[in-house]
Amino acid sequence: MVDYMIKEIRLHRLLLPLKRPFTTHLQSVKERESIVVEMIDEEGAIGLGECVAFSSPWYTEETIQTCWDALNNWLIPSVLYKRLSRPEEVIKMLQPIKGNHMAKAALDLASWDLFAKRKNRPLWQLFQGVRQQIDAGIVATGPFDDCMIKQLENAVTQGYKRVKIKIDAETDVEKLTTMISQYPSLQFFADANGIFSWLGIEALRNFDNAGLTLIEQPFQEDDWAFYQEASHILKTPIALDESIRSVDDVKRMIDLGAGQIIVLKPGRVGGISASLQIHELAQKHRIPIWIGGMIELGISKAHNLALASLPQVQYPGDFSASNHFWEEDIITPFIDVQKGQITLTNQSGIGYELDENSIANYQVDYKVYR
């Protein structure tokens, strides 16, 4: 394998408005910050990555500012001008720096896209993905009122097969059960974002006969004992989202028998390299995976889509079209959902390019290292 060199890295710090606020019991997100990474080799090939931390630590400890600082001060100096022969060497070079998985992921993603482009192969084929059509899935928020019905009707019209509902202390289980029975063509996931650590396992039990395909993150990240207990009591499978911050968390989940399904968010676990390790573990232990979203932009989404081609990904992920959250995404072409599916491209790498106009519109800071 021939060596190549990381000759230049560009960081675009962006701020985009959401079409409408995304509100859960944790936070109302109205605008989205992001860092897009361009990693360039000596031949001028460009690999794209994205950092998916939020502006404040409501969902993960890392924020866009901590990632910006980590990237500028420690991560980029550790990889710039280094020679590589494999994409996972970038994350290995970053091992002496503790934590900062979300900041590291941005570079790891870029490294994989760069490698695939050098090889002139689509990323999903490089992973030996087994499918080119990826099932889409939408998230619908708010109380079970007319607005929710409108969101569900739109989902059905656009061909989505799966809808994720956010649940909290106010959720009316009876209304939820009726609603689910009225949409037999849709699979319903319920995401609790940890609230049953405060409401208790008994309250969670009320959801067991609602017709849900799965319940996502009923308890807080480290409430492993709750996960063990609930996995015995509930017949609805439990999926772990926030709890899966690294490969080690997956090992813990398996050792403890805590939960049945992994929600894999590459941007949180340290990138593609860590995601492939998690996939291997999940395959060995027969644990199904689905790929989660974080209201991210097209670059991260494209990486996630490529991973969704892997065999152990067995449920539809958080994959909506670019126009679900955004007036204008930062990639061309936009991500498009047809008959409930997204087709992986045959272009090399992630198969999408940065839209320079849109980057210029939303850029609030820019750094270049060469």
- The binding site for Mg ion (CB under 5 A) comprises 191, 216, 241
- By the 8 A CB rule, do 122 and 348 touch? yes
Binding-site string for ligand OSB from residue 221 to residue 250, where x marks contact by CB under 6 A and - marks none: --------------------x---------
From the CB of 142, what's the least distance to ligand OSB, in Å? 13
To the nearest whole angstrom, how small is the minimum distance from the Cβ of residue 143 to Mg ion? Answer: 19
Span of 109-117, 149-157, 266-274, 289-297 interacting with ligand OSB by CB under 6 A: 289-297
Q: Which does 213 bind (CB under 5 to 8 A by kind): ligand OSB, Mg ion, none?
A: none
Whose CB is nearest to ligand OSB? 293
CB of 306 to Mg ion, least distance (A): 21
| Distance between CA atoms of residues 363 and 346, nearest Å | 29
Residue 5: its H or E element: strand 4-23
Nearer to ligand OSB, 28 or 181 (CB): 28
**Identity of the residue, 293 or 351, whose beta carbon is nearer to ligand OSB in the bound complex:** 293
In the shown chain, the binding pattern of residues 187 to 206 toward ligand OSB, with x for contact by CB under 6 A and - for none, equals: ----x-x-------------
Listed in sequence order, the residues at least 6 apart from 291 whose beta carbon sits closer than 8 Å to its beta carbon are 263, 264, 265, 266, 304, 305, 307, 308, 313, 317, 318, 319
Residue type, 185: S
* 66 within 8 A of 48, measured Cβ to Cβ: no
DSSP 11-80: EEEEEEEEEEEEE-SS-EEEEEEEEEEEEEETT--EEEEEE--BSSTTSSS-BHHHHHHHIIIIIHHHHT
CB of 335 to ligand OSB, least distance (A): 12
Strand ranges inside 69-132, DSSP E: 83-84
* Closest C-alpha among 348, 353, 352, 342 to residue 122: 348
Nearer to Mg ion, 16 or 195 (CB): 195
| Residue 295 near ligand OSB by CB under 6 A | yes
Kindly tell me which of 50 and 216 has the beta carbon lying closer to Mg ion. Answer: 216
Please identify which residue in the block is written with the tokens 């990323």: 123
Q: Please select the residue that binds ligand OSB; options are 87, 270, 292, 316, rule is CB under 6 A.
A: 292
Contact 52, 14 (CB under 8 A): no
**Minimum CB distance to Mg ion smaller for 53 or for 90:** 53
* Least Cβ distance, residue 332 to ligand OSB (angstroms): 20
Q: How far is the CB of 168 from ligand OSB (least distance, A)?
A: 12
- Please give the C-alpha separations between residue 122 and each of 6, 114, 125, 338, in angstroms, as whole numbers: 20, 11, 5, 20
Give me the sign of the Cα torsion angle 360, 365, 369, 370.
positive
Q: Please report whether residue 329 would count as binding ligand OSB according to CB under 6 A.
A: no
The Cα 128–Cα 123 span in angstroms is 9
Please choose which of ligand OSB, Mg ion, none residue 295 contacts, taking the beta carbon within 5 to 8 angstroms, the exact cut-off set by kind.
ligand OSB
CB 175 within 8 A of CB 148: no
User: Is 294 within 8 Å of 52 (Cβ atoms)?
Assistant: yes
Q: Annotated catalytic sites, by residue? A: 166, 265
Residues within window 252-281 making contact with ligand OSB, judged by CB under 6 A: none
Query: Which x/- pattern over 131-170 shows residues binding ligand OSB (rule: CB under 6 A)?
Result: --------x-------------------------------
Q: Which is nearer to ligand OSB, 45 or 139 (CB)?
A: 139
Q: If you count them, how many residues does the chain have?
A: 370
Q: Give least dist CB 136 to Mg ion, A.
A: 17
Which lies closer to ligand OSB via its Cβ, residue 102 or residue 295?
295
Q: Which of 187, 320, 345, 358 binds ligand OSB (CB under 6 A)?
A: 320
Answer yes or no: are the C-beta atoms of 137 and 162 closer than 8 Å: yes
- Indicate which of ligand OSB, Mg ion, none lies near residue 50 (CB less than 5 to 8 Å, by partner kind): none
Residues lying near ligand OSB in the complex (CB under 6 A) are found at 59, 139, 191, 193, 241, 292-295, 318, 320
